Amino acid sequence: MLFNNDEVKSFLPHRDPFLFVDSVKEVTLPPGVNEDGENLALKDCLGATVTAFFHAKKDLDIFSGHFPGNPVLPGVIQVEMMAQASCFMSSKVYKDPGKFKLEVALMGASHCKFRKPVLPDMNLTIKAKLVKVRGPVISYDGEIYHGDTLMSEASLLASVKFIERDS
């Protein structure tokens, strides 16, 4: 595991009940990009992918109101899940990501498709791929799977800034 639950919490600013990544399996840079050298630019990471996991616990607060007696994870939460997972690609940009605070803001989502309902107790795999960089604005394609079944997908637009932490 690249990021366990405690490391996820040290990287993302989100907390329960709005943290939707339990762990990150891998962050893969595109072929030909060497991460052993200096810090990378976001544009060097085009094609980078993230694979993360989330268990939709049956006692997740959102299920009690969406919908009573027929709990379904809302599509907007699934989009947020893809956005949170996509942040981990940024862990490859700096050699020591712990020195930086990640400030990210979701700016848009398009091409959202919710193919199957996400239900309580599902183990989900979240995948994100960096597809475009324009300065601090980045575009990702995200997908959520339960096993081999594609549950949802979306294209995401976000603003990403790295702020050096005080020593």
Q: Distance (Å, rounded) from C-alpha 92 to C-alpha 100?
A: 12
On whether the CB atoms of residues 32 and 12 are closer than 8 A, the answer is: no
On whether the CB atoms of residues 51 and 58 are closer than 8 A, the answer is: no
H or E segment and range at residue 25: strand 23-28
| Cis peptide leading into residue 68 (ω within 30°) | no
Known catalytic residue at 66:
yes
Please, what is the Cα angle at 29 between 27 and 34, to 5 degrees? 125
Q: Which residues are catalytic?
A: 66
